[in-house]
Structure 1
Amino acid sequence: MSAIPTRRQIWLSLWGLLLPLAAMAQPVQRITFDEALRLALKRNPLVLQAVHQRTRSEIGLASARSNFLPDLNFSVSGSRDYGRNFVFDEGRVVDQTTHYLSSSFSASINLFNGFRDIHTVTQAHAQVAASERNEARQRETVLFNVASTFLSLIEAQEQVRIQEENLAAQRALLAQIEAFVQVGSRPVADLYQQQAQVAAAELELINARRNQQLQTANLIQLLQLDPFGTYEFVLPELDTLALSAPSYEVQTLLQAAFERRADLQALEAQLRAADYGVRIAQSTYWPTIALRLSYGSSYTDLAPLSFDEQFFNRNRRGSIGLSLTFPIFDRFTTRHNIQQARVELENVRLQLQQLRQEIATQVRQAFLDYEAAWQQYQTAQLQLQAARLALEAYQERYNVGSATWVELSQARATFVRAESDLVRARYTLLFRQKLIDYYAGTLDLENVAR
């Protein structure tokens, strides 16, 4: 006899039935290309880190500017003393408890510290410029990655279309062969082989759809979307028919890259900041001049005067002073700071040289890859045109019995492969074009999908 299910088991069963239905009922969120760009700029962690770094640099600049402002302080102190005290008015020592209260305002301002404050502000300006250019480059990188992923998704969609058309054609050919076999004009072996071809076409379609799903998953990850959500990406319309021959020149691309690459400009700004870091370290050799002012008053019950008379009249006092300090020996701290600043300057200079070499290599390689992609695209067009004519010819010959199934099958496989190669070559060419713009620093953020 079966056991009666408990209430917990019943609820778990109900939840098991309702959760899939809830997932199916979840609304599909449509995301266009422009919306994807906005989401990437808003949510990408690298962009957000670059924004935070820029904010930090701007705070550093504000802090450097505040060094030119004076220091203002207000202090209040009070005490209660017990014991023997000398009373001036009476000329004798007495045992008593006395109270003391004092307050003062003080201010100080730096007049000269070896141009340290000026160099600090200039260095902060360079650091802000570097962080701004780093942020701009990071935005370009994210937008380029989104555009590249969309291109991959469009290519995957085209590959699915090709495999769907191939499967439909293979099924139509299977029906035709079945009719031929029934009337005895074709051997049954052709039927079996064509059935195997239909199964292979179905497998290719499954793989193409899987690749499309993987590209969709990559896009969801890139946009930092909720992995439990359901999304439909609206693919942009690309004018792939307007692809033209390469019109780039290496020297022009290199010149544009050295002038417009944001990461190169950021490193040049960091080099200026490091140079002023050396000057800041050297400023400690100079003397410092500071102006100090103070004003205050006090009260004590040792004097036989009232609080108002002491605090607001007799005990008021003020001072103004100018100090000049010459550094004589600081345990070689300044020397070591200068050495460290110069090492940092040299490291940034080496990084700048390395980046220039990397940019030159990236631009040259991107140019060569684009030329190769253009040649592959032209060859793929000719290959598809020839494969289509060959398939039509073999299909006509097979219909009249002058061609074998093997010849027709090979022609069909060549045609499908040519279609797939043309799609791959087309979107590879588009990707290489965007890659040149990205490496040259000429990527148009407004028309990144065109």
Structure 2
Amino acid sequence: MKIPFAGLLAAWLFTICTMQAQETLTLEDCIEIALAQNFSVQQAEINAQGESIQYKQSRNALLPRINADYNYGVSNGRSIDPFTNAYVTEQLNFSNVGLSLSTTVFNGFRLLNSLKQSSLNKAAAGMEVEEARQNRMLDVTLSFLQVLNARELVKLAETRLLTTREQLKRLEKLNEEESGNPSDFYDLRGQLALDQNAIIDAKNSLNNALEELKFLLNTDAEIEAESLALITEFKNQELSAEGIYEQALQNLAAIKARELRLEAAEKGVAVARSQYVPEISLFANLNTNYSSAARLFEETGTELLETTDFVSISGIDYNVFTQETRFNSRGISYIDQLNNNLNSTIGVSVSIPLFNGFRAKNNVQLQKVEQSRAEVALAETKRALKQNITQAYNDWDAAATSYELLQEQVVAYEKSFAINEARFNLGVATSVEYITSKNRLDNARINLTNTRYTYLLRDKVLEFYKGRVIR
């Protein structure tokens, strides 16, 4: 499959227009953009096209083979006249024309098994295209959620900094009036630097997440974090991890592709074994030739010629005369010679493999190795899939439980911080108590945000394994 410049330009324009025309980018928008111009998907499509061509070749191998040959040459010196098969010493123009037909009648079902193998490989390549699309969809989903999570952490860091600045302004006035505790002022200045550094780290994480998303979308266009939108909801899983795994076996293209590759490898063994079997073929040939030395002789009459012989009659010698037929020669035309010299053959050919340097045996063993590789690849894919689903399900379940607890923790720390902030403003509490209470609340909010997006991420992963469209 050739990827023309116009196609790449159209995909690039599609990306730019989509990102500029919408104030917000949903997860579906990002997936659509990624699939429109993803190199992994394009490579899989190229491979699929190659398998499709291979399938056509295997199918066409069942057809008879028809070949024609033609040559025309000039020979000088002593050569064999193809018309008379006699030696001549002259310039000779010659030509040969042939038509041959052959077809395989039986070869141990090698052609049929090759066709089935190519058909399975073609179907597997189609599944690998879908696998590449599914993998890209999952990658974009995870990256999209990472951006949203990083965006929320930046907002939390900015809120923390705003609260610290407000308190610092109040303490700065008290410090100028020499009515406040100087240690509280410097404690807050230290907390301000800590909060500013947290914003730098959070924004750096956000920028890295955006770059990762841009890479997956294969675009250089700028993506604003605020333009991303996702409808989130918390729901229960109707299936267990084992149930999701069973669905994944039925829905995931990766599993189907490995299964088809295994079936194709099994057919490959059958193809190799056919080398042990005699091959029976039918053939037919039609040939003709031309030679410039060919002549056609025409009788023009007779002539009485004296010979060197003699007869004696009564002592007198008499010469002997003979009557000789005279001929004129002329060349035979090119077309007439081709018509006159036609010959045809038809027959049956049987090729019996007796010894071929153990090539057939080694080919069978090589194909069995390929079959073993396909079996291991399928088993490995299933094993990894089961492990990934189990881990994702456990993470989802833990995140769902932790989210409820962390919500309660945030509510409790909000009340605690409100009390400590009021006490600190009244001068009853110290800066250490205030900062400690503030950091507990901030950390609880960060943990709640991280847990929320961990839940959403694992939920999307499980939806992917169920074979459902990610939204």
TM superposition score category, shorter chain reference:
0.7 to 0.9
With over 3 angstroms needed to count, the CA separation of the structure-2 counterparts of 1:80 and 1:93, relative to structure 1, is same
- Quick check: 1:303 aligned with 2:294? yes
Match for residue 133 of structure 2? 139
Are the equivalent residues in 1 in contact too, given 2:83–2:293 (CA < 8 A)?
Answer: no
Match for residue 434 of structure 1? 460
Match for residue 238 of structure 1? 230
Match for residue 430 of structure 2? 404
1:107 to 77, 101, 111: 101
Match for residue 381 of structure 1? 407
- Residue identity opposite 1:48 in structure 2: Q
Question: Secondary structure of 1:321's match?
Answer: strand
Question: Secondary structure of 2:404's match?
Answer: helix
Q: Which moved more, 1:300-309 or 1:178-187?
A: 178-187
Question: Secondary structure of 1:248's match?
Answer: coil
Cα distance in 2 for partners of 1:360, 1:188 equals 60
Are the equivalent residues in 2 in contact too, given 1:57–1:124 (CA < 8 A)?
Answer: yes
Are the equivalent residues in 1 in contact too, given 2:148–2:225 (CA < 8 A)?
Answer: no
With over 3 angstroms needed to count, the CA separation of the structure-2 counterparts of 1:235 and 1:256, relative to structure 1, is farther
1:314 Cα deviation (Å)?
1.3
1:404 Cα deviation (Å)?
2.3
Match for residue 81 of structure 1? 75
- Aligned residues with identical type, % of pairs: 25
1:205 Cα deviation (Å)?
1.3
Cα distance in 1 for partners of 2:166, 2:83 equals 125
With over 3 angstroms needed to count, the CA separation of the structure-2 counterparts of 1:34 and 1:246, relative to structure 1, is closer
- Residue identity opposite 1:144 in structure 2: L
1:289 Cα deviation (Å)?
1.9
How many residue pairs match? The answer is 416
Are the equivalent residues in 2 in contact too, given 1:42–1:48 (CA < 8 A)?
Answer: no
Calculate the aligned-residue CA RMSD, in Å.
2.8
Match for residue 253 of structure 1? 244
1:390 Cα deviation (Å)?
0.8
1:348 to 332, 355, 374: 374
Question: Secondary structure of 2:349's match?
Answer: strand
Are the equivalent residues in 2 in contact too, given 1:374–1:429 (CA < 8 A)?
Answer: yes
With over 3 angstroms needed to count, the CA separation of the structure-2 counterparts of 1:296 and 1:379, relative to structure 1, is same
Cα distance in 1 for partners of 2:458, 2:285 equals 70
Cα distance in 1 for partners of 2:278, 2:60 equals 21
Question: Secondary structure of 1:104's match?
Answer: strand
Which has the larger share of strand? 2
Pick the structure with greater CA Rg.
Answer: 2
Cα distance in 1 for partners of 2:62, 2:225 equals 54
- Residue identity opposite 2:291 in structure 1: T
Q: Which moved more, 1:358-367 or 1:398-407?
A: 398-407
> Where in structure 2 are there 5+ consecutive unaligned residues?
1-16, 297-331
1:36 to 25, 30, 37: 30
Match for residue 325 of structure 1? 351
Which has the larger share of helix? 1
Match for residue 188 of structure 1? 182
1:92 Cα deviation (Å)?
9.6
Cα distance in 1 for partners of 2:255, 2:337 equals 64
1:49 Cα deviation (Å)?
2.2
Cα distance in 2 for partners of 1:86, 1:329 equals 39
Question: Secondary structure of 2:70's match?
Answer: strand
Are the equivalent residues in 1 in contact too, given 2:84–2:294 (CA < 8 A)?
Answer: no
- Quick check: 1:156 aligned with 2:150? yes
1:91 Cα deviation (Å)?
13
- Residue identity opposite 2:360 in structure 1: T
> Where in structure 1 are there 5+ consecutive unaligned residues?
1-26
Cα distance in 1 for partners of 2:185, 2:423 equals 17
Cα distance in 1 for partners of 2:409, 2:160 equals 17
Cα distance in 2 for partners of 1:69, 1:252 equals 48
